[in-house]
Amino acid sequence: MILAGLALAAAVAGPGILADAPGLWRTPTDGGSLVRLAPCGRNLCGVIVGSPRLKAHPGQTDVRNADPGKRERPLKGLRILEITPGASGEDGQGWVYNPEDGRTYRGAIRLTPDGRLHLKGCVVRPLCKTQVWVRAEGGSP
């Protein structure tokens, strides 16, 4: 499951998710999908950059999307998360889209001191799933 991580956008550039999270991240699922996080306005957004499955079949589309009108969208380049930074600058809240099941979840993200992103997506609390993403090689901001 590609659980899209969410991020924070700080009003002022400084330490925190908006400043520290941009770059290329590897998910723990699907053989290590790659997601690029970047500022999008005052928020942090993530798009799918690649995965072992996309490498083997580059033309994959969003076939499981709940909206039939979106099922032809290419997975590569698809925005799967958008997070608004929290007051601490180290976490944020927003949404995460999972192309594995075609659903969008409420999400949260937290950047830990060891440089990992902890992403949580919830249908309804306490029905949540958490992933830990690591920065991909060459993925520094």
Alpha helices in the chain (DSSP H): 17-20, 52-56
Does residue 1 sit within a domain?
no
CA gap 124, 22 in Å, rounded: 28
Tokens found for residue 49: 């950059």
Taking only the tens place, the pLDDT of each residue in 26-79 is 999 777 899 999 999 999 999 999 999 899 999 999 999 999 999 999 999 999
Asked if the model's pLDDT at residue 141 lies above 60, the reply is no
Q: Is residue 69 part of a domain?
A: yes
Residue with tokens 């590609």, as numbered in its chain? 2
The pLDDT assigned to 68 comes to 96
> Residue 15 above 70 pLDDT?
no
- Residue 17, token pair as written in the block: 């998710």
Residue 4 domain-assigned? no
**What was the pLDDT predicted at 12?**
30
Q: What is the separation of C-alpha 59 from the centre of its chain, rounded to a whole number of angstroms?
A: 21
The structural domain count of the chain equals 1
Give tens-digit pLDDT for 98-131.
998 999 999 999 998 898 999 998 888 788 999 9
CB distance 96 to 117 below 8 Å: no
Does the pLDDT at position 11 exceed 90?
A: no
- Residue 46 sits in which domain range? 17-135
26, 37 Cβ separation under 8 angstroms: no
Q: What is the pTM of this model?
A: 0.83
CATH of the domain at 127: 2.40.128.520
Residue 30 lies in a domain: yes
Residue holding tokens 């709940």? 66
Token pair for 82 = 């958008």
Q: Over 80: is that where the pLDDT of 140 sits? A: no
Structure token digits, residue 79: 């925005």
Residue 58 located in a structural domain = yes
